Amino acid sequence: MVNNQRISVPQRQSVLDALELAKAGKTAAEIREILEKEKFESSIYIMLETLEYLKKGGRITPAAAAVATVLHIRPVLQIQGEKLDAYAKTRSEKQGRAIMMDALKKDIDTRFGGMDQVRIYVAHTDREEEAKEFSQMIEAEWGVPVTYCDPLSLSVACHTGPGALGVGCAKRIDQYL
């Protein structure tokens, strides 16, 4: 068992990393140790279309959800390690994408040592076309490939609801191979 406190896209990468480590000859104990050591080496930003599901889950009050709905506020949330927190508020898709890209770029440069040290991901709930466009925008602007563009895991999607769009990264484990 590995408890590296990851969820969704970075959790998927942990599984793929474990397979690579096994192919490189690492034992199960060594793989567990590496994955747990690297557990906080990921970052996620998610823009929500609605606050309804955060309200239903008790993460925000009904009053806060109502105010945000009336004002057409779309929150950008972040997952750093083990907690989900508010990061920013936006009123437009374009601004939300820019906020997420700026935040992730800052994390990549300051926490992870640059673009060549991470894998980048885009995830969504029921927004496949927009997610593909977002991936292409990231690739064009940053000059690096998006590793994969997939639906959010159900463990996250049940909190975000439909229409969520996110971007994230996980640090490469190449030094262990």
* Per-residue model confidence (pLDDT) at position 159: 83
9-23 tens-digit pLDDT: 888 999 999 999 999
Q: What is the pTM of this model?
A: 0.89
- Average pLDDT for residues 153-159, to the nearest whole number? 84
Q: Residue by residue, what is the 3-state secondary structure of the chain?
A: CCCCCCCCHHHHHHHHHHHHHHHCCCCHHHHHHHHHHCCCCEEEEEECCCCHHHHHCCCCCHHHHHHHHHCCCEEEEEEECCEEEEEEEECCHHHHHHHHHHHHHHHHHHCCCCHHHEEEEEEECCCHHHHHHHHHHHHHHHCCCEEEEEECCHHHHHHHCCCCEEEEEEECCHHHC
Q: Tens of pLDDT along 97-152?
A: 999 999 999 999 999 999 999 999 999 999 999 999 999 999 999 999 999 999 99
- pLDDT band at residue 92 under the 50/70/90 scheme: very high
Strongest mean pLDDT among 2-6, 64-68, 162-166: 162-166
